[in-house]
Structure 1
Amino acid sequence: MTAQLGFMTRSADVPIRSKLLAAIVGTTSVCLFITASVFLVYNWFNVRDTLNNNLSAVAEVFTLNTTAALSFNDAPAANEILSSLRAKHDVLQACVYKSDATGEHLFARYNRDVGSSLQCLEVPPEHNFYTHNHLVVVSPVMLGSERIGSLYIERGLSDLWESTRLDSLVVGLMVLASIAIASILSLFLQRLISNPILALLQTTKEVSVAGDYSLRALPTGNDEIGELILGFNNMLAQIESRDLTLETTRDELEIRIEQADKANAELEQALKRLKETQEQLVNNEKMASLGGLVAGVAHEINTPVGVGVTAASTLREDTKATTDLYETGELTNSALKRYFATCMQATEIILGNLQRAADLIHSFKQVAVDQTSSEYRMFELKRYIDETMLSLKPKLRSTDLVVEIECDPNLAINSVPGAMSQIITNLVMNSVQHGFDEGEKGHLRIAVEEQPEQIRIQYSDDGKGMPPDVVKKIFEPFFTTRRGSGGSGLGMHIVYNLVTQQLKGSVKVRSELGKGCAVEITFPKKLLE
């Protein structure tokens, strides 16, 4: 395969005249060689068969002549008959075998050269055969229908090989003469093909160097080469026409480029303003979420503070009444004990509710700080989700939704808690606003699964669900199905940006109408700061 590729590579650089000459002469030479070889082989077999037929005819004559000698067991007569083969210069030896009850045995023989190493076989062969330099013919000697012996004649094939060498020389000279004549004729014939191609090649070089597509190749006829030249000229005409069109188009394009550059500059300014507006809207969305958090703080803290105020008011009234009794001297021991019991109860109520308010403030403070920060820190995911859901309690209190959280309480991750809080808040509020009608019962589920190198959060609700066209656009900024009801279209867009940019993860949404919505979020367990 490598040798074939090498030959093809080398032959690709050979001029077409040489290729045509080599093709014509090579094809002629191969055909002449095959023809000569077939002729020589055929002639060799033909001459050999002729020699075999001639020797077989001689053998038939001699079998008739030796029949009497074999019948009368006259060996000298048989030897004398065989000696007449001396006139056949190509016969090397002859042997007569006599048949008896034990087989055939040598009866008489003839050898052209007395000192020759040729010897008659003890038993004659059953049929004729050839060796490289000898032909052996075996003929039965018959007396009536009885076989009384065999005649064995062997001749040399030197005349066959001499004839073959002479024929090969003559044929070889004829082949060489034919190849020479074919080469001379090919020199003239190949020009009928190569000259138009070389002229076409010269035209292509002139067009390539000068870049002048108005040049044309001269047509030579209506054959394939003529059609090639005609096609080449048509191609030049089309290129020339296209060049003119391109020059006109280029001038128009330069004008349009200037206009496009001006429009691009205006678009860049508009895009810059759009990005600034988008960033402002995203910040406004975050601040609105933070505002809702503050409202939740006020609502949640109001209950323990109100209970504390009530307890303090009760304690003040009891203290005033006890003081009046003491000043008038009417304070009894039982009344004093009741007062002490009231003080202890009120104090426990006040301290318990103040502690509850402090815990709420601490949780809300941490969530609020995280929502405005992008810092990394270690935190317990379950506890943080609980704190985030606590901040959303005022929003959920007005609904009939049940929240289920499945998470290992000991799971700690190194991530961005602010992004996590914002993601949970946006997902829950998206379900509240879009997934359920007012007063409709439903379930919100947050399931956290810890994997070797990452965390997977599966958020789902059993609300209305979404059609496929809404699912495809859910992460697009400003896309909302409640444009006239206060929806900004940034909630899920912010979720996508927080997951992919700050948490370095991925988010997927699956939903069908009437089958709720499921959001799968996957992100690394440990983020490199």
Structure 2
Amino acid sequence: MPITQPVWSIRRICLISMIGAISLLSILSISVITLQFNKSYNANSVSQIKHWADVLAEESLIYVINVERQALLDNFSLPSHIPNLNYVHIYRTGKNDEKPTLFYSYKRNQQRTAISEKSNSINSLQIPKFSEAYLEYMQPIKVEGKIIGYIYLQSSNESITQITDQLLIISFIVLFIVCLIAIFIALKLENYISTPFYTLANTVQTAARQRNFSQQCQTMPYREADILARNINILFARMEKRIAQLDSAEQQSLEHSQELENKINKRTEALKESNQELLSTLEKLHQFQSQLVESEKMASLGDMVAGVAHEVNTPIGLGVTASTLLADRLDDIKAAFENKTLKSSQLKKFLHDGCENIAIIYRNLNRAADLISSFKKVAVDQSSEDIRTFDVKELLREVILTLRPQLHSLPYTIDIDCPDNLSINSKPGPINQILINLIMNSVIHGFEGQDHGRISITVMSLSNQLNILFKDDGIGVNESIKHKVFEPFTTTKRGEGGSGLGMHLVYNLVTQALGGSIVLNSELGEGVSIEINFPIN
């Protein structure tokens, strides 16, 4: 959501600007006046205290010279008539530059507390010294250039504080009056500035509401607003012209729309008929594709039957040969027995040969039985999608055993990495078909032109998911067909017996029959890696 910028009115801007400017100027003026007043007052106070120090020193000189302390106390009334004077000390110096001693002391009234002697601060107080509440000054009393004593004066600064307070009050009153005047001027100025804009806004709103852009904005009282009014008039003229063009175009568009509607109606009918035909054709194509996929499954099962039949033929043939040989030896023994020519060595040889033949018959019949049993399980699983509990490693062993007739003469090896006793509840048929198709796909396509090859199948259980990682070190998949390897009829053996449905069948079995996912990764010349995941119990 965009951040809304604050919108200020002209009135607010005028008020803030004028009040701020006037307040700032007033504060600066008051500060300058106050500083100037304080400076002037301080200079005047210094001048007065020095004047009164001279007067008091001259009046008390005769008493200090004659050491008439009591006479000074009785007759020295001048300090009480000096305004703002708080304290007066007169110090008399002794002979041999002894420390001055207090000779006379005066305070404004008896309620005031006496202050300490200032004889130790003579040097620092010979320049008037201001403090927060008073000004103090000490001046030497001289006779013919010789210092016979010192006079100390302390005057109050209360008057300046009172004057400053009054000045501040007057300043704030003046500032308040000036702010009121500034507000009045700002409101008048805002009214003068904003009235033309309100007039323009009303004109624009009326034109937009009535969709009548033929009216014109009136002349404004100042240049900026008048420039805006002229530009709005130009905009109105262009909008009126544009609306006329749009009305004309709308009329033409309506006529064209009617023509197009008639054409669309005709073509819609034709498209409906074509659509119906396409749907029928698509349905037939789906049926044909399903039949092709089923044919691919049956074809792989047929190849397996041929291989198993060929593989079973060898042990059964050996068994028949051994049983025939045993029958011939049995006939010889029977004839010798009936003719009473049977020898112990002949019987011993018959028993030895019989044991060997029976062992040969047993081994080969067992081998044929294992092949037929594995084929039966694989064939039943391939033709069924029932859910059952089975051992994964046993299923892999049966698949490899079933494919042994096709693989035993080829220079390729298959490595299986699967935990023992890994039993799952799933559909063995689709898993069986997936593994057979992947192995045969590597043999036919992946190892083409190679005199060796290795296939690895890694199986592990990952949190209610079975993970099958199938890898080979063949020639890999070309980049041009890698992205469509699971699409139907995608093959590199077109015209050489390849249907292009093997990997499509694998994809359908993983995603639909098992409800899982399959991912293929391959680089040309570096083999292929296929990872399959599907849910299990």
* TM surpasses 0.5: yes
TM-score, scaled to structure 2: 0.76
Distance in 2, Cα, partners of 1:92 & 1:278: 124
Report what 1:498 is aligned to. Answer: 509
1:272-317: CA deviations, max 9, x gaps? 5554444333323222222222222222222222223323443455
- Give a deviation string over 1:402-422, Cα, whole Å, max 9, x none: 222233333323332222212
2:117 equivalent in structure 1: 122
* CA displacement at 1:387 relative to structure 2: 0.9
- In the superposition, the TM-score normalised over structure 1's length comes to 0.77
Residue 56 of structure 1 is matched in structure 2 by 46
Structure 2 counterparts to residues 215-254 of structure 1, below 5 A: 218=217, 248=253, 251=257
Q: Deviations over 1:188-231 (max 9, x none)?
A: 53453364257437745874x67x59688848666696699589
Q: 1:462 to 1:321 in 2, by over 3 A?
A: same
Give the deviation of 1:354 after TM superposition: 3.0
AA of the residue aligned to 1:141: P
Q: Could you tell me how far 1:389 is from its partner in structure 2?
A: 1.4
CA distance in 2, matches of 1:160, 1:286: 113
Among 93, 108, 112, which residue is 2:86 paired with? 93
The 3-state SS of whatever aligns with 2:419 is: coil
RMSD of aligned Cα (Å): 4.6
CA 1:153 to 1:336, structure 2 compared with 1: closer, same or farther past 3 Å?
Answer: closer
Q: What SS does the aligned partner of 2:436 have?
A: helix
Inter-CA distance 29–523: structure 2 relative to 1 (3 Å threshold): same
* Alpha-carbon distance in 2 for matches of 1:254, 1:468: 48
Report the Cα distance in structure 2 between the residues aligned to 1:145 and 1:431, rounded to whole angstroms: 130
Q: Secondary structure in 2 aligned to 1:374?
A: coil
Letter in 1 for 2:194: I
Measure the CA separation in 2 of the matches of 1:345 and 1:506: 53
- In structure 1, the residue corresponding to 2:485 is in which secondary structure? coil
- For the 8 Å contact 1:315–1:343, the answer to whether it is kept is yes
Partner of 1:332: 342
3-state SS of 2:495 partner: helix
Distance 1:20 1:286, change over 3 A: same
Q: What is the correspondence of 1:33-432 to structure 2 with a 5 Å cutoff?
A: 33-67=23-57, 69=60, 72=65, 73=67, 83-84=77-78, 88-89=82-83, 91-98=84-91, 100=93, 106-111=102-107, 114-115=109-110, 117=112, 119-123=114-118, 126=125, 128-131=129-132, 134-141=133-140, 143=142, 144=145, 148-158=149-159, 161-162=162-163, 164-165=165-166, 168-169=169-170, 172-173=173-174, 175-180=176-181, 182-193=183-194, 195-196=196-197, 199-200=200-201, 203-204=204-205, 207=208, 212=211, 218=217, 248=253, 251=257, 262=271, 265=275, 272=283, 274-318=285-329, 329=339, 332=342, 345-432=356-443
**2:374 aligned partner, one-letter code:** S
What is the rounded CA distance, in whole Å, between the counterparts of 2:141 and 2:281 in structure 1?
125
Against the structure 1 CA distance between its residues 506 and 150, is the aligned structure 2 distance closer, same or farther, given a 3 Å change threshold?
A: farther
Q: How many residues align?
A: 507
1:442 aligns with 2:453: yes
Contact 1:311 1:350 in 2 (8 A): yes
5+ long unaligned stretches in structure 2 = none
CA distance in 1, matches of 2:263, 2:423: 59
3-state SS of paired residue (2:190): helix
Q: Tell me whether 1:28 sits opposite 2:18 in the alignment.
A: yes
| Deviation by residue 1:101-138 (Cα, 9 ceiling, x = unmatched) | 776655445555x455364453378452243xx44242
Contact kept in structure 1, 2:413 and 2:455, CA below 8 Å? yes
CA deviations on 1:440-487 (whole Å, 9 max, x unpaired) are 222222233455654443322222223444434433443333333233
Partner SS, residue 332 of structure 1: coil
Structure 1 residues 191 and 479, CA, compared in 2 at 3 Å: closer, same or farther? Answer: farther
The alignment partner of 1:392 has SS state of helix
Moved more, 214-223 or 286-295: 214-223
Change (3 A) 1:406 1:164: closer
Helix, strand or coil at the partner of 2:369: helix
Q: Does the aligned pair in 1 maintain the 2:88–2:106 contact within 8 Å?
A: yes
Change (3 A) 1:363 1:205: farther
Name the SS of the counterpart of 1:39 in structure 2: helix
CA distance in 1, matches of 2:280, 2:75: 129
- Deviation of 1:369 (Å): 1.8
Q: Write the distance in 2 (CA, Å) between the matches of 1:272 and 1:233.
A: 61
Q: Flag the 1:346–1:403 CA change in 2: closer, same or farther, 3 A.
A: same
Q: Which has the larger displacement, 476-485 or 379-388?
A: 476-485
Cα 1:460/1:166, change in 2 over 3 Å: closer
Unaligned runs of 5+ in 1: none
Q: What letter corresponds to residue 189 of structure 1 in structure 2?
A: E
Q: CA deviation at 1:388?
A: 0.7
Per the TM alignment, residue 160 of structure 1 is displaced from its structure 2 partner at its CA by: 5.0
In 2: Cα distance, 1:332 partner to 1:344 partner: 19
Tell me which amino acid in the other structure corresponds to 2:135.
Answer: V
* Bigger mean CA deviation after superposition, 384-393 or 120-129: 120-129
- Secondary structure in structure 1 of the residue aligned to 2:469: strand
Deviation for aligned residue 1:57: 0.7
Structure 1 residues 222 and 446, CA, compared in 2 at 3 Å: closer, same or farther? same
Q: Distance in 2 between matches of 1:276 and 1:214?
A: 67
The AA in structure 2 aligned to 1:57 is S
Give per-residue Cα distances to partners, 1:329-359, cap 9 Å, x unaligned: 4763556666666655544444443333222
Say if 1:141 and 1:238 are closer, same or farther in 2 by CA, change over 3 A.
farther
